[in-house]
Structure 1
Amino acid sequence: MGWDLSTAQFAALAVAALLVGFSKTAVSGANTISLAVFAAVLPARASTGVLLPILIAGDILAVLTYRRHAHWPTLWRLFPAVAGGVVAGTVFLMWADDAVMRTSIGAILLLMAGVTIAHRRRSATRPATQEGADDTEGTGEGTGEGTGEGTGGGALGRRLKAPSYGVLGGFTTMVANAGGPVMSMYLLSAGFRKLGFLGTSAWFFLIVNTSKVPFSVSLGLIDTRSLLLDAALVLFVVPGAILGKYTVNRINQRLFEQLVIGATVLGGLQLLLR
């Protein structure tokens, strides 16, 4: 398959691929663990190219599951800024070697974990009506935040919110496939409930990740060797997505998020200290 992987290393990648499917249909952002595993097992730069087709496979399954629940006005508001972030990330990747990539991925993981922790603390102080309820229609409109701009911060803050999240999301997803936590924070702060969150996130990442493929090919991140490994790993995405669909309404969200944050921090530190 192009890399001399031990049985244990391939098993770790297979579990990480399964977690990609699970995160796409249950807990968006949980695949930061997968990112850390891929970057630990494979060369950091190559790991981003191997992981991208696996993420796209998960995105397709998520869209098939939650396609009716997307809020398209939010998506159109984000895409221009995301495109700018992807271009900036591509420029960065043109000169970044494997050591820089490994450090960058580790730093991004720790940054995303910090953002997630900060958001959780803010969420704990908000009224319960804005958080966590099931959304049977899934558009996010029932929360009073149907525009996706969130509350507070004044008119200027609302105008800058989508562009700032979009640029950061585009950059982190291009450099490290780590845009999930950024978009999670944006959608949660905009008041999206469970199904609206998952549907909007599914379409967002299918479109963005697919658009990254030509850039990744031109940078040499996706090649025959990486695609052969993808062919072996993509089979594990499907059971992960099925498991996520089954558990999305049963999972203890708070405990799982705590585990995800902890694993993300450990993965980021492992990459930085490697």
Structure 2
Amino acid sequence: MLDLLPSLGALAWTLLAVAAVLVGLSKTALPGLGTVAAALFAAVLPARASTAALLLLLILGDIFALTIYRRHADWPTLVRLIPAVAVGLLLGAAFLAVSDDAWVRRGIGVILLVLMTVTVWQKVHPRIKERSQKRRRIERGAYGSLSGFTTMVANAGGAAMSLYLISAGFSVKAFLGTAAWFFAVINLTKVPISIGLGLITPATLVLDLLLAPAVVIGALIGKWIGARIKQSVFEWAVIGFTVVGAVYLVI
């Protein structure tokens, strides 16, 4: 990949810089933007290389998110998600080791669109939110495993988790705090797996070093937005950005 960096043109670097800013914004204000950032990276870099490069920038964004929202996390929710997410991560790692990920991206996009439809339906029909404990366990397992798988394969786990937290009725700060801890742990877990698969290279580190300031800028802008955004605007923004990212994965 080192020989690829000098060949990147102005447009490619601009898209990568915009994506890096969106990473920062997604961690501290609008989680749905993370899927858009993943789409931009995949449009500029080879799919496997883009996954590794974006991972390290996401970890930088996680640091800012934890600094701002770490006290607002819902720990019981995080603990209950661990088994399903672990299964998803292992399945995603196995898939990356043996398969091309083009077709599975389309499948992930379709699944996210279906989940988004269910989430919107629940918002429009509040009574649907009255769910049994068994149904909640099934939803937690489905969303958790999908989040683990999609974050390993396409760095798109934020979309599935965002829809889950919205459907569970989390406030803005509780949402961001819970997501911050969740993805900080998940992304750190992915590092040794990515190294073992040969996805993180010296070229990856050089690229991320150049893009790191853009993540910081996005995170600081997101901090300002997160302190002011209304709950309803936040929820619909997350849903809207998730749709954009899912459509990209489909096409």
1:33: how far off? 0.6
Tell me the equivalent position of 1:224. 202
Match status 1:101 vs 2:79: no
Residues 60 and 215 in structure 2, CA contact (< 8 A), matched pair in contact too: yes
| Mean CA deviation greater in 247-256 or 185-194 | 247-256
Please give the alpha-carbon distance, in whole angstroms, between the structure 1 residues aligned to 2:46 and 2:53. 10
Please give the alpha-carbon distance, in whole angstroms, between the structure 2 residues aligned to 1:57 and 1:87. 23
Tell me the equivalent position of 2:224. 246
1:182: how far off? 1.1
1:257: how far off? 4.3
Map of 1:56-71 to 2, 5 A cutoff?
56-71=59-74
Residues 65 and 180 in structure 2, CA contact (< 8 A), matched pair in contact too: yes
Indicate which of 72, 76, 87 corresponds to 1:73.
76
Tell me the equivalent position of 2:241. 260
1:258: how far off? 6.4
Please give the alpha-carbon distance, in whole angstroms, between the structure 2 residues aligned to 1:124 and 1:110. 21
AA partner of residue 234 (structure 1):
A
Q: CA 1:14 to 1:115, structure 2 compared with 1: closer, same or farther past 3 Å?
A: same
Tell me the equivalent position of 2:213. 235
AA partner of residue 18 (structure 2):
V
Tell me the equivalent position of 1:87. 90
Partner SS, residue 31 of structure 1: helix
Decide which structure has greater helix share. 2
Residues 45 and 221 in structure 1, CA contact (< 8 A), matched pair in contact too: yes
- Provide structure 2 residue ranges, at least 5 long, that are not aligned to the other structure: none
- When normalised by structure 2's length, the TM-score is 0.89
Residues 31 and 238 in structure 2, CA contact (< 8 A), matched pair in contact too: no
Map of 1:155-174 to 2, 5 A cutoff?
155-174=133-152
Residues 150 and 156 in structure 2, CA contact (< 8 A), matched pair in contact too: yes
Please give the alpha-carbon distance, in whole angstroms, between the structure 2 residues aligned to 1:258 and 1:77. 24
AA partner of residue 231 (structure 1):
L
Q: CA 1:2 to 1:126, structure 2 compared with 1: closer, same or farther past 3 Å?
A: farther
Q: Which runs of 4+ in 1 moved over 4 A?
A: none
1:254: how far off? 6.4
1:163: how far off? 2.1
- Provide structure 1 residue ranges, at least 5 long, that are not aligned to the other structure: 131-149
Please give the alpha-carbon distance, in whole angstroms, between the structure 1 residues aligned to 2:247 and 2:235. 19
Indicate which of 5, 10, 15 corresponds to 2:8.
5
1:52: how far off? 0.3
Tell me the equivalent position of 1:135. none
Residues 19 and 34 in structure 1, CA contact (< 8 A), matched pair in contact too: yes
- When normalised by structure 1's length, the TM-score is 0.82
What percentage of residue pairs aligned between the two structures are identical?
A: 43
Please give the alpha-carbon distance, in whole angstroms, between the structure 1 residues aligned to 2:143 and 2:237. 24
